[in-house]
Amino acid sequence: MNENINQQEISLEALQRKDKAAFAQLVAQNSDHIYRLALKMLGNPQDAEDILQETFIKAFNNIDGFEGRSKVSTWLYRIAVNESLSLLRKRKDNLTSIDASFETDDGDILPRQIIDWCCLPERELISDEARHYITEAIDTLSDANRATFLLRDVEGLSTREAAKVLDISESAVKVRLMRARMQLRESLTDFFANKLAKESA
C-alpha cells in the first residue's frame, strides 16, 4: 500500500521558504493518507476533515522547526495522530460517566475462537454489512492500539517509522500491533462465524 515510497521528493528547502507550489505538492501527495488515518481514528468524516486541515496548517507554520531526520510524510502522520488523540481525549473528558476500564484490549493475545471463515465466498467477505462491521470493529480497539494498527497495516509504515510517529519504542509498536491484530481477528471471527453457520445450515 505505502504509495508514498514512490512519491517524488519534495525539497525541504523549498518548503521551509514557504514555497506554495512545493507545499501544494506536499498536500497532494499526503492528503488522502492523512484523511484516511484521521477518519479511521475518529470514525467521523467532519472530525477527519478538521484534523486534515489542522495537520497541514501546523505543518505549514512549523516547517522551519522540522529538521529532516525523518521523512516529511512521517512528520505529517505524527501531527495528525497527535491531533486525533487530543480530540479523542477531549471527547472522553466530556463523557464523565465513561469507565476507565472501558479499554480492555490490553489483555493476552491467545486466540479465543478457532473458526476457519476464510472459506466464505468473496461476496460475504466484502458485503456492505461486512464492511460496516469491519469499520465498527476497529473502534473497539484502544486509541493507542488503533493508531498503531492503522499506521502499520493500513498505511504501510515500517515498525521503525510507526515508532517515530507514535514516539514509542519499536518493541512497543510490535506489542500493540499484535494485540490490535488479534483483537480484530476475534471481532471478525464473531461476525463471520455467524455467516458461516448460515451458509452451512
Partner 1 sequence: MNHEHDHQTQQHNHEHSHDYGHDHQLPCKDILTNLNAYIDGELDNALCRDIETHIKSCPNCRIVVNTLKKTIQLYQMDGQETTLPDEARHRLMTRLDLDDYVAKE
Minimum distance, C-beta of residue 185 to partner 1, in the bound complex (Å): 5
- Residue matched to cell numbers 497532494: 28
Which cell numbers hold the place of 52?
A: 486534515
Minimum distance, C-beta of residue 40 to partner 1, in the bound complex (Å): 7
Is the Cβ of residue 18 or residue 91 nearer to partner 1 in the bound state? 18
Is the Cβ of residue 168 or residue 182 nearer to partner 1 in the bound state? 182
Sign of torsion over alpha carbons 91, 169, 112, 186: positive
Which cell numbers hold the place of 148?
A: 498503531
> In angstroms, rounded to a whole number, what is the distance separating the alpha carbons of residues 144 and 172?
10
Minimum distance, C-beta of residue 95 to partner 1, in the bound complex (Å): 26
Sign of torsion over alpha carbons 75, 81, 84, 86: negative
- Residue matched to cell numbers 491484530: 181
Minimum distance, C-beta of residue 148 to partner 1, in the bound complex (Å): 11
- Residue matched to cell numbers 452451512: 200
Is the Cβ of residue 23 or residue 66 nearer to partner 1 in the bound state? 23
Is the Cβ of residue 86 or residue 194 nearer to partner 1 in the bound state? 194
Give the max Cα distance, the chain: 66
Would you tell me which residues interact with partner 1 (CB under 8 A)? 1, 20-21, 23-24, 27-28, 31-32, 35-36, 39-40, 45, 49, 52-53, 56-57, 60, 109-118, 125-126, 130-131, 134-135, 138, 149-150, 153-155, 174, 177-178, 181-182, 184-185, 188-189, 193, 196-197, 200
